[in-house]
Amino acid sequence: MPKLDEIYVRKKEASGQVSAQTRSLALGYLAVSWALLTAHDEPLRSMAANVSRPLVVLLAAGSFLVLFCDFWQYLAITSMAKAAAWQAEQAEQQVALYNEDSFAFRAQAFLYQAKIWIVIGTTMILVAIFLCLLLPVQVPTCALQEQKYQPVTGSCLHSAAVK
């Protein structure tokens, strides 16, 4: 059975790994959204045409939000540690407790959970984007040629037949 100290060490390692992974995913999602939003060359331009632009912008916004939460989470942790160290120094103690009622403590816990859920949401958006890329909507050629489309037969009526 693991000791409590071992559990805390493992929790700290796992938390750091989760944070690194969320940053990596967010940066990758940002790169994908940038590529789709600024597609200039083929075949990326024709692929990007199959994806809803608001969906790509939402992916980019979610990625920025993950990075924003990550930054502020670490800022809150730094503030929380500084306050605990100061309190221990004032009491001339070698151990300190975090103030669980402090804003920094609550903020870092909230931001940690928020970035995880936002990354899950942006992953779902990325899956939707990939589905759009893999399963493009086919526009009937008669719509491009301003002819009447017959959805039942899947064919076009030529302009002479429409009159």
- The predicted-structure confidence for 63-112, as pLDDT tens digits, reads as follows 999 999 999 999 999 999 898 888 888 888 888 888 888 999 999 999 99
Condensed to tens digits (0 to 9), the pLDDT of residues 117-156 reads 999 999 999 999 999 888 866 655 555 455 554 555 555 5
Tokens encoding 116: 């995880």
For residue 55, pLDDT beyond 60:
yes
Lowest mean pLDDT among 8-22, 35-49, 52-66: 35-49
DSSP state string for 43-81: THHHHHTTS-HHHHHHHHHHHHHHHHHHHHHHHHHHHHH
**Average pLDDT rounded to a whole number, residues 49-62:** 91
Q: Tell me whether residue 139 is exposed, middle or buried, using C-beta atoms within 10 angstroms of its C-beta: 0 to 12, 13 to 18, 19 or more.
A: exposed
User: Would you list the domain boundaries of the chain?
Assistant: 4-137
48 versus 19: which is more confidently predicted?
Answer: 19
Condensed to tens digits (0 to 9), the pLDDT of residues 4-16 reads 888 888 888 898 8
For residue 113, pLDDT beyond 80:
yes
CA–CA gap between residue 141 and residue 7 (Å, rounded): 63
| Chain CA centroid to CA 118, Å | 6
Global model pTM greater than 0.85: no
Would you say 108 and 80 are in contact if contact means Cβ atoms under 8 Å apart?
Answer: yes
Confidence of residue 161 (pLDDT cuts 50, 70, 90): very low
| Chain CA centroid to CA 53, Å | 16
What is the predicted pLDDT for the residue at 111? 96
Condensed to tens digits (0 to 9), the pLDDT of residues 22-33 reads 999 999 999 999
What is the predicted pLDDT for the residue at 121? 97
Beta bridge partners of 99: none
What is the predicted pLDDT for the residue at 50? 80
Would you say 80 and 71 are in contact if contact means Cβ atoms under 8 Å apart?
Answer: no
